[in-house]
Amino acid sequence: MRVLSGIQPTGRFHLGNYFGAIRQYIALQNNEQAFYFIADLHALTTVRNPADLLGYTHDAALDLLALGLNPEQATLFRQSDVPQVTELTWLLMTVTQMSLLEKCHAYKDKLARGIAADAGLFTYPVLMAADILAYDSNLVPVGLDQVQHLEVTRDLAQRFNHIYQTEVFVLPEAHVIAETAKVPGTDGEKMSKSYGNTIEIFEPEKKLRKKFMAIKTDSTPMEDPKNPETDSVFTLYKLFASLDEQSALADRYRAGGMGYGEAKQALFEKALEYFSVARERRAYLEAHPDEVEAILQAGAAKARAKAQEVLTRARNACGLNR
């Protein structure tokens, strides 16, 4: 059983990335053949500064390893270290209908926000399909916003298999955890870099506190009862706290007499405690870039070997065999 997922190095990872995806990567690395990669080719559709891309990619590796990704169990690599995937992208592109890509929300949302689309942005889901299909992936842990791209992937795999009348590609399934599939940001909308509402996992302590304190709440006065179910502070608190802690805080919401400031402080303290080990590990990794690079190189070698096997199958099916 192959588990695979990718994450874009477009800036520092936030709580949405962690609870929606990274936590699942780690939970699935123990008993599965896990492949996780840093999607630097996808990031090129938004990051146009080479120093930034290199920096974000290095940070992404540090963050993933610090958060618990264990290179002795899972394979970690950079997308751009596996050229087989870009070749496979072309093979898939030739069976991709324009109308399929025109329906993709991620592309439509960007268009709606006035971002001029280039071919990279438009064909982004085809590269993503190649990422997944290149390794015979069965299970792909992702947040809700990527589910449609998984459907595109299945669609392309089926079309290719059908056209060439061979089972070249394995059909993957999305692995989505309902409670954390759409983590809200500081404004209550989905946490997303493009909405400017993110809380980054490894923000320095002072800045982190500031971000938690800035979470938007309603204007219920301090003395009055409050509804935990509709409040973003409580929604985020639930991600970090035990069931007992959750119900204790919910009781205080309902009783009244507690201001949102106090709830935010409790949330901040929980988050700090939750990531404290990861912070220490990150500091170590930051001082040992050679170890990190060696992990990425070893991961890439394993990934290339698998991708070559699948690419050869696909080439043979199309008549590109020699």
The answer to whether the annotation marks 143 as part of a ligand binding site is yes
Binder of ligand TYM out of 132, 133, 156, 311 (CB under 6 A)? 132
Question: Which sign does the torsion angle of CA 240, 241, 243, 246 carry?
Answer: negative
Q: Considering only the stretches 16-24, 94-102, 255-263, 275-283, report the one whose residues sit in contact with ligand TYM under the rule CB under 6 A.
A: 16-24
Question: What is the smallest separation between the CB atom of 225 and ligand TYM, expressed in angstroms?
Answer: 29
The answer to whether the annotation marks 10 as part of a ligand binding site is yes
Residue nearest ligand TYM, Cβ-based: 20
Of the listed 103, 108, 193, 211, which one is catalytic? Answer: 193
Pick between residue 39 and residue 271 the one whose CB is nearest to ligand TYM. 39
- Give yes or no for residue 110 binding ligand TYM (CB under 6 A): no
Question: What is the smallest separation between the CB atom of 104 and ligand TYM, expressed in angstroms?
Answer: 11
- Give yes or no for residue 215 binding ligand TYM (CB under 6 A): no
Find the binding residues for ligand TYM in span 155-184 (CB under 6 A): 181-183
- Give yes or no for residue 140 binding ligand TYM (CB under 6 A): yes
Binding residues for ATP: 8-10, 16-17, 143-145, 183, 190-194
Which residues would be at the binding site for ligand TYM (CB under 6 A)? 5-8, 16-17, 20-21, 39, 42, 128, 131-132, 140, 142-143, 145-146, 149, 181-183, 190-192
Annotated binding site for L-tryptophan: 131
Please identify every residue annotated as catalytic.
Answer: 110, 190, 193
Report the binding-site residues. Answer: 8-10, 16-17, 131, 143-145, 183, 190-194
